[in-house]
Structure 1
Amino acid sequence: MDCPTSYYLRLRGRHLLLAAAIPFASCKKEESASGPPPPPAVSVVPASTRPVDIVRSWTGSLDGSVNVDIRPRVSGYLQSRGYSDGQTVKKGDLLFTIDPRPFEAELRQAEADHLKAIAQRTKAEQDVARYRPLAEKRAISQEELEHSIQAHEAADANVAAALAVIDQAKLNLGFTKIYSEIDGVAGFANREIGDLVGPLDSKPLATVSTVDPIKVSFQVSEQEYLQAKRKREEVGKPEVDIPNIPVGLILADGHRHPQPGKLVSISREVNTYTGTFELTAHFPNPGNILRPGQFARVDAVMGTVNAVLVPQRAVSEVQGAYQVAVVADGKALIRPVTVGQRSGTDWVIETGLQAGENVIVEGLQKVRNDTPVEASPWTPPSAPEQPKTEGK
């Protein structure tokens, strides 16, 4: 016979189990009554088409359009410097002076040698004038007369040589003053006052660069070069070595240089290591804002095409591949696409999408491939209003 206490405990346990099961039963009834969740809401926009400029860009390095290494033509000690580092100079401005005293002494020596040669020539002339009548009277031999004539001719040659030495001494003296050969910006001096300098020095005294216009060098792949050539042939443009294509320049801070540039040269061969051609362009540079050594982006419009475009926010990147979500028959379809260049806030789609197809712009994170969605037209956000400036 059961104990009254154990009977009471079994009865109480049954009541507790029944009370715990009642809420679960009610939840199942509510779930079955509500049904599956509604499809996610997304915003779509049809892919559009419009003419788009084909823009190509490359990394370029800036350099002077003309660079001149300033080197001494004679050896000597630097006596003075006529410019400040980074200063704008004109052609003919004095940059450096080498101690001229040794060269002045050489010039005086050369002039003295010239006078000596003139005196020797005068003596030779007098000898010939004196020996000629004596030879006619046979007072001296014909051989002595010929020797005097030869001595006179040698004296003439010595005078001419002395004049050449004077000219060279004047040149060397002039070379002690080193002038700028071009208009431009003078770089930092590599030698200081008092240094011994000469023509065989490994480094120049300084470098002067013409920076207006400034030169930009950039590399173009062999494929891009051939494509550009073929496109020009297709549209019937004349074949020229250097096409007249305006080029732009985007600086390191993201600003575009206000002056367009012009192509000036294309290398004669492909670099076998990089597979590229080197192109150079000149850009006007008023105020010398651009300087050699800077890096910038060079771009050029290579043509115009009718392109398919979608907002950039409609394109997602997954492990280096690009894709968009298209709504068709109420379902979202994930498509891989090939993207081109950006055009404003849009992105050019080269392959994988047709014009007029509805592309999901908002709600991409909520959709899966081949699942139902609730699509509505997307409204582009309006540009924020500029705050009004109150007058003081």
Structure 2
Amino acid sequence: MADRDSSAARASAAPDAAGGPARRGRLWVGLLALAAVGLLGYRHWPDPSRASSPPQAAKKLQTVRVAMARQASDTLSLTQTGTTQAFDTASLYPRATGYIVERKVDIGSHVKKGDLLFRISAPDLDQQLVQAQSQVLQLQAALIQARAMVDQAEANRHLADVTNRRTSTLAGSGTETRQNADTAQAGVLAQGANVDAVKAAVKVAEANIAAQEAQVARLKVLTGFEQIRAPFDGVVTTRNTDVGDAVTADTNTGAPLLTLARDDVLRMAVNVPLYAADGIRDGLEAKAEVAQRPGQVFPGRVSRSSTTLLHASRTLVTQVDIPNPDRVLQAGLYITLTLAIPRVSPAVSVPNDALIFDQDGTRVAVVEAGAESGHVVRMRPVTIFRQTGTVLELRTGLTGGERVVVGPPASLRDGDPVALRPEGKTET
């Protein structure tokens, strides 16, 4: 009985062992089928975020506005404002002590060089001159006397010499004593010294005369200051004294007698910036405009410059002379001055908003021809020469004639394709 049960169990286990591999194969096929269905479902599932994101390789075509880079003119226009100044200004002070006895001019009077402005009465100075001239006459008389004494001393020396020779001859023959001969010889030496003394006195007298004549000349110059005359052609701008006022010589601490200004030529100081200083030359033409005379342009020329830059501002102080023969302009006017300064090196101008300034430095975006009649952007590094209100001048990077992007977007990169915005159309 037991043998039959074991035989039946072995008979039923044999079919199960034979069907195991077939079931495992069907299981793997089912799993692969499910994976394929899931993958297809994920790829075709409508995911909004995935649907709105374009492929990374595709670049969006940007529309840009362009402007033409142009060669700057050969001259650099520099405009500055300032105040006109008189070409020469003189404050006249008295050089003679006295009081004003005559006044010839007043404020606004136009005078010529050498015209009499004031006359000062200085009695003390006049008396000093008369006294000095009298002393010169006295010294001249003393000189005549000293020269006469020279003639007398030379005559005495000649007499002493003759006496000495005669006494020496007689002493040799025994007729005269040796003592008398020695005395005669000493007399010759004494008279020679006397001649030298009186000649020296003549030189002293001549020196005294020269010194006194110099004093007379000085007093004559000082008395010449009793008449105050115009040092140049000009106009009287201030007057501080009148007839009867006492004045003191060589006191420059108070107010001057008057102030004279030369107004046939005016000048203006201009601080030329560093970028234009190399082009400044004497004789460079300038144009001046005054608000009080609209439409009129007054020519001028650069007359001088400091040749060295101011350390604090890095500017060159330049003076421009403006001819004013008709006295149309006055000193102190507020004017606008324009200089046409020759360029030392060429420059290219582009709009201000074409500049790109980022971690790569200063650049501009240049539009070039691309494939299939399109356009691409190329970034060009540039060097800035100067910047005005609307224009940027470049020293290097462009040659002129290039099309540059105006107001480039931040996302614009080198090599990006772009479309050009038609002229007159604005971005919406």
* TM-score of the aligned structures, taking structure 2 as reference length: 0.54
The AA in structure 2 aligned to 1:289 is V
The residue identity in structure 2 corresponding to 1:291 is: Q
Q: Which residue identity lines up with residue 288 of structure 1 in the other structure?
A: R
Q: What's 2:125 paired with?
A: 103
Which residue in 2 is equivalent to 1:169?
219
Matches within 5 A, 1:15-26: none
Task: State the partner residue of 1:197.
Answer: 248
Distance change >3 Å, CA 356–CA 282, structure 1 → 2: farther
The residue identity in structure 1 corresponding to 2:235 is V
Q: Which residue in the other structure is 1:385 paired with?
A: none
Q: Does 1:270 align with 2:312?
A: no
Q: Determine whether 1:352 maps to 2:352.
A: no
Asked if the contact 2:67/2:405 (under 8 Å) is kept, the reply is no
Instruction: Select 2:228's aligned residue among 178, 181, 200.
Output: 178
1:84 aligns with 106
1:373-392 alignment runs, 5 A limit: none
**What do residues 198-225 of structure 1 show as CA deviations (whole Å, max 9, x unaligned)?**
2241354333222222111122222343
SS in 2 for 1:269: strand
Q: Deviations over 1:142-201 (max 9, x none)?
A: 333332222222122222222222222221111211111111122202444413232241
Q: How big is the shift at 1:94?
A: 1.0
Establish whether residue 295 from structure 1 lines up as the match of residue 334 from structure 2: yes
* Structural RMSD (CA): 3.6
C-alpha deviation, 1:109, in angstroms: 0.6
Cα distance, 1:300–1:134 mapped onto 2, change above 3 Å: closer
Structure 1 or 2, whichever has the larger Rg, is: 2
Equivalence map 1:130-149=2 (5 Å): 130-138=152-160, 141-142=190-191, 143-149=193-199
- Change in 2 beyond 3 A, CA 1:107/1:57: same
Residues 1:67 and 2:64 are matched in the alignment:
no
Taking the aligned partners of 1:249 and 1:355, their CA distance within structure 2 comes to: 42
What is the DSSP-based 3-state SS (H/G/I as helix, E as strand, rest coil) of the residue aligned with 1:259? strand
Q: What is the CA-CA distance between 1:351 and the residue it aligns to?
A: 7.9
Between Structure 1 and Structure 2, the one with more helix by share is 2
Q: Do the aligned residues in 2 keep the contact of 1:246 with 1:260 (CA within 8 Å)? A: yes
Instruction: Give the number of aligned pairs.
Output: 269
* Counterpart among 221, 225, 228 of residue 277 in structure 2: 225
| Matched residue, 1:94 | 116
Task: Work out the percentage of aligned pairs sharing the same amino acid.
Answer: 23
Question: What is the rounded CA distance, in whole Å, between the counterparts of 2:348 and 2:421 in structure 1?
Answer: 11
Kept in 2: contact 1:87–1:185 (CA 8 A): yes
> How far does the alpha carbon of each residue in 1:74-124 deviate from its partner, in whole angstroms, 9 at most, with x for none?
444333322111221111111222223222212211111011111211221
Give matches, 1:334-349, under 5 Å.
339-340=389-390
Alpha-carbon distance change, 81 to 49 in structure 1, aligned in 2, over 3 angstroms:
farther
Change (3 A) 1:282 1:136: same
Contact 2:113 2:231 in 1 (8 A): yes
